[in-house]
């Protein structure tokens, strides 16, 4: 019994040494058929691939990676990895590929990567509503509205097939399916579709009515002029990840007072992985009661939410969406009514 325990302890001791030991160069265990022994071979360094395992007489043989191939760590693979061949649209090569590093692509100055695209970072641009190279509150409400109550298994494909303009590619559709819940998928798809088609005349024509919606939102909240502290309280009341004080300060500097709330709400949504802004705002309004928040402001926000949930949106949906994607989805019921 004692002996067994002793053995177990020795074994434990060895295994701890094994896992904590930091040998250099790093090693791996290899069975040598010649001597029928387990050998400790050196791993291959970055920039090379394994050519021959070590033997009792010879060290591991590693060969340099060919051009356009790399390895970036110590490893035991007999192949190098192929460097990312091309950067995406609007990206530049930040660092070329060499034997030890993959090619690094980065969005051009003033842009950041979202999904497949380098989107523009913009301070508040002129005009109402459009805040980011993102979706506006109206578009968000509308895109979320366009979610069917019953998901037929191929709903997303039907939508992809019927949306006019540049088609969202199958790869992106698959990614949306993988990453988002069925509830979210329509929103993500429409967002991507809008991004791909926003400069086409067809899209502008379809979305003229969205502009009317933006006008209404602007009428409801454009007059609100909050102090830094008030904006901070509002942002703190939103659930999930918080917009930072720096973001609030920047927004106060870069945006007109009429654009600040919308800009911050949009930042909050992006920060929270496309959470529903209206739901977030409703949550915030409940919590704002405990602060002495200007009543006129909470009322304006409530009116905006009501408007975006309203029959107006339903009409917009009918007019645009059904016209846009045709009879294929006529039978689809909408979620809110
Ligand atoms: C490979 O590129 C990296 C940066 O991408 C650099 O630090 C490194 O020195 C380069 N190696 C060679 C051999 O040029
Ligand atoms: C907003 O309020 C601040 C003071 O709280 C004032 O200085 C500023 O002129 C106001 N802006 C607008 C557009 O009303």
Within-domain flag for 243: yes
pLDDT of residue 18: 45
Closest listed ligand to the CA of 96: 1
Within-domain flag for 128: no
Q: Is the pLDDT of residue 5 over 70?
A: no
Q: How confident is the model at residue 118 (pLDDT cuts 50, 70, 90)?
A: confident
Give the mean pLDDT of the chain: 80
pLDDT of residue 17: 43
- Greater confidence (117 vs 105) lies with 105
The alpha carbon of 240 is separated from its chain's Cα centroid by a whole number of angstroms, namely 16
Q: Is the pLDDT of residue 233 over 50?
A: yes
What's the average model confidence in pLDDT over 288-307?
A: 89
**Type and span of the H or E element at 211:** helix 208-221
Residue nearest to atom 3 of ligand 1 (CA): 101
Domain with 255 in it: 222-311
Residues 6 or more apart whose Cβ sits within 8 Å of residue 43: 25, 26, 27, 28, 60, 74, 75, 76
Closest atom, ligand 2, to C-alpha of 227: 5
> Which ranges in 27-82 belong to alpha helices (H)?
none
State the DSSP string of 113-181. EETTEEEEP-SPPSSSS--SSS--HHHHHHHHHT-BSS--TTHHHHHHHHS-SSPPPHHHHHHHHHHS-
Within-domain flag for 168: no
Within-domain flag for 251: yes
Nearest CA among 331, 333, 334, 329 for reference residue 162: 329
Six token digits for residue 153: 């298994």
pLDDT of residue 134: 74
Secondary structure class of 105 (helix, strand, coil): strand
Distance CA 110, CA 90 (A): 11
Q: Is the pLDDT of residue 10 over 70?
A: no
Distance CA 40, CA 29 (A): 5
Q: How confident is the model at residue 331 (pLDDT cuts 50, 70, 90)?
A: very low
100 within ligand 1 shell (Cβ under 6 A) = yes
What's the average model confidence in pLDDT over 194-198?
A: 83
pLDDT of residue 55: 94
> Ranked by mean pLDDT, which of 64-73, 113-122, 267-276, 313-322 comes out on top?
64-73
Number of domains observed in the structure of the chain: 1
What's the average model confidence in pLDDT over 135-160?
A: 77
Distance CA 139, CA 94 (A): 34
Predicted TM-score (pTM) of this structure = 0.56
pLDDT of residue 124: 59
* Residue ranges of E strands in the chain: 27-32, 37-42, 48-52, 61-64, 69-70, 81-82, 91-95, 104-107, 111-114, 117-120
Residue nearest to atom 1 of ligand 1 (CA): 98
Within-domain flag for 260: yes
pLDDT of residue 115: 58
Instruction: Give the Å distances, CA to CA, from 272 to 214, 239, 243, 269, 275.
Output: 23, 9, 9, 5, 6
Instruction: Give the Å distances, CA to CA, from 165 to 155, 207, 316.
Output: 18, 13, 20
Secondary structure class of 74 (helix, strand, coil): coil
97 C-alpha to ligand 1 centroid (Å): 8
Within-domain flag for 258: yes
Q: Is the pLDDT of residue 20 over 70?
A: no
Within-domain flag for 252: yes
225 within ligand 2 shell (Cβ under 6 A) = yes
| Sign of the torsion formed by the C-alpha atoms of 230, 235, 238 and 239 | negative
Cis previous bond, 104, omega within 30: no
Ramachandran sector of residue 110 (left: φ over 0; alpha: ψ -120 to 50; beta: rest): left
Q: How confident is the model at residue 127 (pLDDT cuts 50, 70, 90)?
A: very low
Within-domain flag for 116: no
Beta-bridge partner residues of 120: 111
% of residues, the chain, pLDDT over 70: 78
């Amino acid at each position: 019994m004692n002996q067994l325990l002793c053995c177990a302890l020795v074994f434990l001791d060895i295994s701890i040494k094994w896992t904590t030991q930091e040998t250099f160069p790093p090693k791996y265990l290899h069975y040598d058929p010649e001597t029928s022994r387990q050998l400790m071979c050196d791993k291959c360094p970055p920039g090379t691939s394994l050519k021959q395992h070590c033997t009792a007489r010879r060290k591991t043989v590693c060969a340099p990676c060919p051009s356009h191939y790399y390895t970036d760590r110590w490893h035991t693979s007999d192949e190098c990895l192929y460097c990312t061949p091309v950067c995406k649209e609007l990206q530049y090569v930040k660092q070329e590929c060499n034997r030890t590093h993959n090619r690094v692509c980065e969005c051009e100055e003033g842009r950041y990567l979202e999904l497949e695209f380098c989107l523009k970072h913009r301070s508040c641009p002129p005009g109402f509503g459009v805040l980011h190279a993102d979706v506006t509150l109206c578009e968000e409400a509308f895109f979320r509205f366009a979610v069917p109550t019953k998901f037929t298994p191929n709903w997303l494909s039907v939508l992809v097939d019927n949306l006019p303009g540049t088609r969202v590619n199958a790869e992106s559709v698959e990614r949306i399916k993988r990453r988002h819940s069925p509830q979210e998928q329509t929103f993500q798809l429409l967002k991507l579709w809008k991004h791909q088609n926003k400069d086409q005349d067809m899209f502008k024509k379809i979305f003229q009515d969205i502009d009317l919606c933006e006008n209404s939102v602007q009428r409801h909240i454009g007059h609100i002029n909050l102090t830094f502290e008030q904006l901070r309280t509002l942002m703190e009341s939103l659930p999930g990840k918080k917009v930072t004080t720096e973001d609030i300060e920047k927004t106060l500097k870069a945006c007109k007072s009429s654009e600040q709330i919308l800009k911050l709400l949009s930042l909050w949504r992006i920060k929270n992985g496309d959470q529903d802004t209206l739901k977030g705002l409703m949550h915030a309004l409940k919590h704002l009661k405990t602060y002495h928040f200007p009543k006129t402001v909470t009322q304006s926000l409530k009116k905006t939410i009501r408007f975006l949930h309203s029959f107006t949106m339903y009409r917009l949906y009918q007019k645009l969406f059904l016209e846009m994607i045709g009879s294929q989805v006529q039978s689809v019921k909408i979620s809110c009514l």
